């Protein structure tokens, strides 16, 4: 029966620990990415809502009607130079 050298066992254990650590880091980064994507989507929705409200408000606040009156009816005296 062949015995595996000790350094091979140590190497395999270190590699498994590295893999385990890497997997945990991937899980953490994936969770962070999902959270950022949700925040980004929420921000995009809020910006779209603000754009709609601004557009709606903008069209209503700047659409005052202009009434033209004859010059005779104007209360301001005309100055002739």
The answer for residues whose C-beta is within 8 angstroms of residue 71's C-beta and 6 or more apart is 78
**CA 46 vs CA 22, 28, 40, 50, 66: distances in Å:** 36, 27, 10, 6, 35
CA dist 78 and 70 (Å) reads 13
Flag whether pLDDT at 76 surpasses 80. no
DSSP assignment letter at 68: -
What pTM, to 2 d.p., does this model score?
Answer: 0.51
Query: For residue range 11-61, what is the model confidence (pLDDT) as tens digits?
Result: 666 687 888 888 899 999 999 999 999 999 999 999 999 988 888 765 555
Q: Check residue 40 and give its pLDDT.
A: 95
Domain range summary for the chain, segments of one domain joined by +? 7-55
Query: For residue range 61-74, what is the model confidence (pLDDT) as tens digits?
Result: 555 566 665 666 55
**CA 36 vs CA 5, 26, 43, 68, 70: distances in Å:** 47, 15, 10, 55, 62
Q: Check residue 58 and give its pLDDT.
A: 58
């Amino acid at each position: 029966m062949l015995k595996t050298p000790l350094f091979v066992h140590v190497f395999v254990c270190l590699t498994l620990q590295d893999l385990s650590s890497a997997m945990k880091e991937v899980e953490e980064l994936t969770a962070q990415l999902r959270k950022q994507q949700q925040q980004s989507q929420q921000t995009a929705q809020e910006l779209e809502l603000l754009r709609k409200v601004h557009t709606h408000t903008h069209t209503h606040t700047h659409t005052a009607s202009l009434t033209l009156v004859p010059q005779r009816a104007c209360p301001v005296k005309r100055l002739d130079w």
